[in-house]
Homo-oligomer: A and B are copies of this chain.
């Protein structure tokens, strides 16, 4: 399982192409489930021009790895990849990528969903949005 928290932009499809090459037994995984979250250009009726993501270096990575281990304990998955940005983002850019490889569709979907849900509710990241009305901290209700 690979977890990366990084300032640099990433291309989710290049990440997945590279990860597929790394997976030793390509024929073992019948199912790959992927979620990509991007920065929308609107939130709560306001155009969003930019966003900054703060995190807790060390704890954020450790928490994502824990969520990945939990998913691997609950479902028969072969591998998982989580990439999450921090720092400055512009609309349209990917924020988060979660990918799960499994022999089976059910496990791949369930584990992928579990990781992104846990990430959103528990991983220490905070968004500060810049809109025409000024900067504001996003809330979990956004």
Interface of A toward B, CB cutoff 8 Å: 11-14, 16-17, 20, 25-42, 91-92, 103, 105, 108-109, 113, 116
Cβ contacts A to B, 24 pairs, < 8 Å = A11-B17, A12-B16, A13-B14, A13-B20, A26-B38, A26-B91, A27-B38, A27-B42, A27-B91, A27-B92, A28-B41, A29-B40, A30-B38, A30-B39, A30-B40, A32-B34, A32-B35, A32-B36, A33-B33, A33-B34, A34-B34, A35-B109, A37-B105, A105-B116
**Interface of chain A, helix or strand or loop or mixed?**
mixed
> A86 vs B103: C-alpha distance in the bound complex, in angstroms?
21
A12 to chain B, nearest CB (A): 8
Asked if A40 meets B92 with Cβ closer than 8 Å, knowing A11-B17, A33-B35, A35-B31, the reply is no
Residues of B contacting A27 with CB < 8 Å? 38-42, 91-92
The residue in A12, A38, A103 that gathers the most chain B C-beta atoms within 10 A of its C-beta is: A38
Oligomeric state, in number of copies?
A: 2
> A78 vs B36: C-alpha distance in the bound complex, in angstroms?
14
> A41 vs B26: C-alpha distance in the bound complex, in angstroms?
8
Asked if A26 meets B105 with Cβ closer than 8 Å, knowing A13-B14, A17-B11, A34-B34, the reply is no
Whether A31 contacts B36 by the Cβ 8 Å rule is: yes
